[in-house]
Chain A
Amino acid sequence: MTMAATLAPQREEAMDRAGALGAFRRSDAIFYWLTRIAALTVLGILGGIILSLVIGAWPAINEFGLGFLTTQRWAPQLEPTPVMGALGPIYGTLLTSFIAMLIAVPIGLGVAIFLTEFCPMSLRRPVALAIELLAGIPSIIYGMWGFFVLGPFLADTFQPFMIATFGQIPLIGAIFAGPPSQLSLFNASLVLAIMILPFITAISRDVFATVPPVLKEAAYGVGCTTWEVVRSVVIPYTSVGVVGGVMLALGRALGETMAVTFIIGNSFKITGSIFAPGTTISAAIASEFAESAGLHQSGLILLGLLLFVLTFAVLAAARLMLMRLELKQGK
């Protein structure tokens, strides 16, 4: 250090200190507001989504009103006034998600129970990792596989069998009626089920892992079998979280686009048979939106708004349930 620096007047040093503190305060304030504005952007995105959907859907809301929800006919090119109704896509969305959940929830929970209770320790990590990686595969891959591989297989083997076995029975026969088809609601449901399966497994495995080991050990200590521990300790303890996770998966299934678009057949008609072609809200938007204009486009945006409201409600309920489980853990 030079002599000049050590002999610098005390006043100047004090000025430097004040300046440095001021700079600190300024950069503190700038950083705080940057982060706060970024956090508010998240709310801005939600507001923007709702606003842009409502504005885009407004002409269709004005034209069709509540009749949109109860009309089955979809004729956007009809002259002079187009007819558009959401009943077909809503039916398809709810039905495919319902069937997908019916298949994926028991299997997903079974895999999760297998992974947390029955699986040998050395296999747990590889199997869990495989399932988590598969949860990350883009949905278009599932859709493509469904279109090229699963669709033809189902139309050649499974569907003819089901139609021959159950098609003649009164009442439930109608569900399996019709010719086998590569494009159908059932095929789309099955692809959806395969897609959400790793998701359900991963989330319920996480939820099952929150059970305190002491509780399980106590149950084993009084002589419970593994299944009794699962049924009487693990599931009651985690029920809220499991339901939350299942609803989260339902939210995904309802809004999934690419896994179903190729394989559902794009028919707005409701036939009642699960082997008939149908459509979902997201599939209708995906296949028609880019070439649409005017009232047709507005109608599609209104469909999007309906989907958003539906998934928002399901996802909000799911998150509230998962939050309750976290509170229980005292996090």
Chain B
Amino acid sequence: MNPIYVSRRRTDAIIRLLCLAAAGIGLLWLALILFSLLWNGLGGLNLAVFTEMTPPPGSTTGGLANAIAGSLILTTIGVAIGAPLGLLAGTWLAEYGRHDRLATVIRFINDILLSAPSIIIGLFIYGLIVVPMGGFSGLAGALALAVIVIPVVVRTTENMLTLVPNTLREASSALGMPRSLVIRRIAYRAARAGIITGVLLATARVAGETAPLLFTALSNQFWSLDITTTMANLPVTINNFVQSPYAYWKQLAWAGALIITFAVLALNIAARVIGGERTTR
């Protein structure tokens, strides 16, 4: 055979092998993480984790009940504030501002906020809420999460509304529907699956966020539903327990990590099932 063909084929085979190796390495690392998470987390997972409070130093009993409740509250408030704001902002970008110079600027800034370091959001809320209020609070933590939710929901809402065919809007306008009704009754309904996907993805994103809670919600050793004071939450509890010298705390940290990972994966899978393949990052 022509030597040029041989060398071209050889190059192709080598690259093919390298790409296969890359895929193998990528999946191997990630499988290793999941494996050690299951290995260490399942051992520590029992009923007490869900029913008992976080233990004091040195104790060998106790669970994560207050941290789990706190995380649920913070995430719920954060999404409840951030998602409607993001939805409305995304609506303006897709429905009113399509050809507006301002919309281009907002879209650009939103994309940057989407990947801005979350610890910076924590510093922002610290200056905005914690300092004026005179102390760390669950409310500050929830607001920090809301600031992270907004750009995610803006992005998905805008993308999904843009996918709604214009003929639908024209048909309903021709029937005499005012613009706001066309958006609320027709466009939202057509884009519903995608919008719900966006909200679920945003929830998944903030459910494990740690950095912005470190100096906003802080943590709390006791059961507390009061959002004006420090509030226990899973990520910060894990953060504190990982660096502790107590074996039982480390075991609880693994259990907490497993719970968070499962919750986040479940949300992500639910989002994909509802939204089909049209999801965005």
Residues of A bordering B, CB below 8 Å: 24-25, 27-28, 30-32, 34-43, 45-46, 48-49, 52-53, 55-56, 106-111, 113-115, 117-119, 127, 129-134, 136-145, 147-149, 194, 197-198, 201-203, 225-228, 230, 248, 251-252, 254-258, 261-262, 282, 285-286, 289-290, 301, 304, 307-308, 311-312, 315-316, 319
Residue of B nearest to A145 (CB): B33
Residues of A within 8 A of B120 (CB): 49, 53, 255, 304, 307-308, 311
- Assembly CA distance A37 to B238 (angstroms): 38
- Assembly CA distance A34 to B179 (angstroms): 14
Given A42-B113, A138-B235; A197-B29 close (CB under 8 Å)? yes
| Contact B210–A138 (Cβ < 8 Å) | yes
| Contact B210–A118 (Cβ < 8 Å) | no
Contact of A138 among B40, B181, B264 (CB under 8 A): B264
- Assembly CA distance A24 to B204 (angstroms): 38
Size of the chain B interface, CB-CB below 8 angstroms? 93
Given A56-B127, A114-B22; A308-B281 close (CB under 8 Å)? no
Residues of A within 8 A of B91 (CB): 35, 38
- Assembly CA distance A132 to B277 (angstroms): 12
Contact of B16 among A227, A282, A290 (CB under 8 A): A227
Given A141-B208, A194-B29; A52-B123 close (CB under 8 Å)? yes
A127, A130, A137, A282, most chain B CB atoms within 10 A: A137
- Interchain residue pairs with CB less than 8 A apart (8): A27-B180, A49-B120, A131-B30, A132-B268, A136-B268, A198-B30, A257-B117, A319-B108
| Contact B92–A28 (Cβ < 8 Å) | no
The B contact surface, by secondary structure, is helix
Contact of A34 among B33, B36, B88, B154 (CB under 8 A): B88
Taking CB atoms and an 8 Å cut-off, the chain B residues in 117-142 that contact chain A are: 117-121, 123-124, 126-128
Residues of B bordering A, CB below 8 Å: 8-9, 11-12, 15-16, 18-23, 25-27, 29-30, 32-33, 36-37, 40, 85-89, 91-93, 95-97, 102-103, 105-106, 108-113, 115-121, 123-124, 126-128, 147, 150-151, 154, 178-181, 183-184, 201, 204-205, 207-211, 214-215, 218, 235, 238-239, 242-243, 250, 253-254, 257, 260-261, 264-265, 268-269, 272, 281
Cβ distance B268 to chain A, nearest Cβ, rounded Å: 5
| Contact A42–B109 (Cβ < 8 Å) | yes
Residue of B nearest to A114 (CB): B19
Given A144-B238, A145-B33, A319-B112; A42-B19 close (CB under 8 Å)? no
Given A140-B235, A194-B29, A194-B30; A42-B150 close (CB under 8 Å)? yes
Further contacts, 10 of them, CB under 8 A, given A114-B23, A286-B211: A42-B151, A48-B124, A107-B26, A108-B26, A117-B19, A129-B272, A136-B264, A144-B238, A148-B250, A252-B115
| Contact A110–B18 (Cβ < 8 Å) | yes
- Assembly CA distance A1 to B18 (angstroms): 78
Residues of B within 8 A of A34 (CB): 88
| Contact A130–B25 (Cβ < 8 Å) | no
- Assembly CA distance A133 to B272 (angstroms): 10
A25, A145, A228, A307, most chain B CB atoms within 10 A: A145
| Contact B92–A39 (Cβ < 8 Å) | yes
| Contact A257–B25 (Cβ < 8 Å) | no
Residue of A nearest to B117 (CB): A255
Cβ distance B104 to chain A, nearest Cβ, rounded Å: 9
Contact of A41 among B150, B201, B254 (CB under 8 A): B150
| Contact B117–A53 (Cβ < 8 Å) | no
- Assembly CA distance A223 to B174 (angstroms): 54
Cβ distance A240 to chain B, nearest Cβ, rounded Å: 16
Given A53-B120, A197-B29, A255-B120; A290-B108 close (CB under 8 Å)? no
Residues of A within 8 A of B88 (CB): 34-35, 37-39
| Contact A53–B209 (Cβ < 8 Å) | no
| Contact A53–B123 (Cβ < 8 Å) | yes
| Contact A134–B30 (Cβ < 8 Å) | yes
Cβ distance A83 to chain B, nearest Cβ, rounded Å: 22
| Contact B26–A197 (Cβ < 8 Å) | yes
Q: Can you list the 8 inter-chain pairs with the closest CB atoms, starting with the nearest? A: A138-B208, A255-B117, A110-B22, A38-B88, A52-B127, A31-B180, A35-B92, A225-B12
